[in-house]
Amino acid sequence: MPLFYHTPSLSRGMHGNYASAITFASSTKPTTKTNPAIFEQSSKNKCNQSKTNTRTVSSYKRRGNIAPTDLHILNDEKTFGKCVYSHADWSHAYKSTLKESEYVIKAEDVIGRIPNDVKGGVLYRVGPGKFERNHKQYKHMLDGDGLALRFEFELDGKVSFLSKFVRTKEFKEEDEEDKVLYRGTFGTMREGGFLNNFGDIRTKNLANTNILHWNSRVFALYEAGRPVELDSLTLNTRDKNEEFDFDGLVPEGQVLSFGFPREMEQKIGLGGKAFTAHPHVDPTKNVLCAWCWRSFVYPQKAVEITFFEFPKNSFVPEKTIVARLEGCEAAPHDFGVTSKYYVMALNNLTIDPLPYILGIKGAGECLVSQPESPLRFYIIPRNTCNGGSSQPIVIEGPNKAFEIHTPFAHDGVPIDENFTLDDENANDEFLTLYSAGWDDFKEGTFLGEWGRSAAWDFPIASSLTPDFNNIDSTVLWRYVVNISKKTIERSPAPGCNNVCIDHPHVNPLYEGKRECRYVYASLSNFEGVSGPPLGYVKIDLKTGSRNVWFAGNRTFCEELVVVPKENGTNEDDVWLLGMFSSHQDDIPDGQSGLFILDGRDVEAGPIARVNLSERISHGLHGTYVSQQSR
Q: Give the pLDDT confidence of 128-151 residue by residue, as tens digits.
A: 999 999 999 999 999 999 999 999
User: What is the rounded CA–CA span in Å between residue 139 and residue 123?
Assistant: 30
pLDDT confidence of residue 356: 85
Burial bucket for residue 39 (CB in 10 Å: 0-12, 13-18, 19+):
buried
pLDDT confidence of residue 30: 36
Q: What DSSP state is assigned to residue 601?
A: -
The three-state secondary structure class of 370 is: coil
For residue 425, what pLDDT band results from cuts at 50, 70 and 90?
Answer: low
Asked if 533 and 522 count as a contact pair (C-beta separation under 8 A), the reply is yes
pLDDT confidence of residue 366: 85
Give the range among 36-40, 104-108, 486-490 with minimum mean pLDDT: 36-40
Give the range among 207-216, 426-435, 517-526, 548-557 with minimum mean pLDDT: 426-435
User: What is the rounded CA–CA span in Å between residue 220 and residue 231?
Assistant: 11
Q: Tell me the one-letter amino acid at 462.
A: S
pLDDT tens readout for residues 143-185: 999 999 999 999 999 999 999 999 999 999 999 999 999 999 9
Asked if 306 and 293 count as a contact pair (C-beta separation under 8 A), the reply is yes
Asked if 474 and 502 count as a contact pair (C-beta separation under 8 A), the reply is yes
For residue 448, what pLDDT band results from cuts at 50, 70 and 90?
Answer: low
Tell me how many degrees the CA angle 205-206-211 measures, rounded to the nearest 5. 105
For 380-403, give one letter per residue: b (16+ CB within 10 A) or e. bebebeeeeebebeebebeebbbb
Whether the pLDDT of residue 190 is over 70: the answer is: yes
pLDDT confidence of residue 46: 38
pLDDT tens readout for residues 254-286: 888 877 887 888 778 888 999 999 999 999 999
For residue 362, what pLDDT band results from cuts at 50, 70 and 90?
Answer: confident
| H-helix or E-strand spanning residue 309 | strand 302-311
Asked if 292 and 196 count as a contact pair (C-beta separation under 8 A), the reply is no
- CA neighbor of 579 nearest in space, from 538, 613, 620: 620
For residue 11, what pLDDT band results from cuts at 50, 70 and 90?
Answer: very low
pTM of the model: 0.89
User: What is the rounded CA–CA span in Å between residue 79 and residue 106?
Assistant: 35
Task: List strands edge to edge, sheet with 393-396.
Answer: 336-337, 341-346, 376-381, 393-396
User: What is the rounded CA–CA span in Å between residue 113 and residue 107?
Assistant: 9
Whether the pLDDT of residue 40 is over 50: the answer is: no
pLDDT confidence of residue 13: 28
pLDDT confidence of residue 445: 63
Select the more confidently predicted residue: 260 or 204. Answer: 204
User: What is the rounded CA–CA span in Å between residue 523 and residue 557?
Assistant: 8
Query: What contacts 426, CB < 8 A, 6 or more positions away?
Result: 484
Highest-pLDDT range among 51-55, 98-102, 241-245, 361-365: 98-102
| H-helix or E-strand spanning residue 176 | helix 169-177
User: What is the rounded CA–CA span in Å between residue 506 and residue 517?
Assistant: 8
Phi, psi of 207 (to 5 degrees): 50, 45
For residue 349, what pLDDT band results from cuts at 50, 70 and 90?
Answer: confident
Task: List strands edge to edge, sheet with 574-584.
Answer: 111-112, 608-611, 587-598, 574-584, 555-564
Query: What contacts 226, CB < 8 A, 6 or more positions away?
Result: 205, 243, 244, 245, 250, 252, 273, 274, 275
Please state, for a pLDDT cut of 70, what percent of the chain lies above it: 88
| Mean pLDDT for all residues in the chain | 87
